[in-house]
Amino acid sequence: MDGFAIAATLRAESPEDFRLLCEHPVEFWNKAPQSDYRSYAPIIGLDSRGEVSEIRLANWLRAPFTLPASEMGAFYRAYRRFCALTRDSRFMVSRRLEAGQMWCFDNRRTMHARKASTRPSISAA
């Protein structure tokens, strides 16, 4: 999914939702036996010119939201809207890789996943 295109659509269609996701930091963490990665930043990161420079969306790494109660409802609305756009086919890029191929992408722009894994079956002889 092209996160920058999703952010641009949100900015055009729901400016208030876009603002909320740019202004309120969210905590992300990934703790493992050998590492402890933490980040506290908005879902949509902007550069000094106000252009989208990063998208952060990893529900399995996201901590609970810690906004003031008065802003929580609006933030959840914005977050749900953004998440809904991540399932919109307009923003999907799909490629099938063959054995030996590699695909490189900007991890701060591209939200990535796999549709399926196809492995050759091994039969017992």
Long-range contacts of 49-57 (CB under 8 A, 24+ apart): 52/3, 52/4, 52/7, 52/8, 53/108, 54/108, 54/109, 55/3, 55/4, 55/6, 55/7, 55/108, 55/109, 55/111, 56/26, 56/28, 57/3, 57/82, 57/83, 57/86, 57/111
Q: In the prediction, which pLDDT does 121 show?
A: 47
What percent of the chain stands above pLDDT 70? Answer: 82
- The DSSP code for 24 is S
pLDDT digits (tens, 9 = 90+) for 31-84: 888 888 888 899 999 999 999 999 998 777 788 888 999 999 999 999 999 999
**Averaged confidence pLDDT in the chain:** 84
Supply the pTM of this predicted model.
Answer: 0.79
For the four alpha carbons of 38, 17, 47 and 85, in that order, the dihedral sign comes to positive
42: region left, alpha or beta (phi > 0 left; psi from -120 to 50 alpha): beta
* 5 — pLDDT class (breaks 50, 70, 90): very high
* 116 — pLDDT class (breaks 50, 70, 90): low
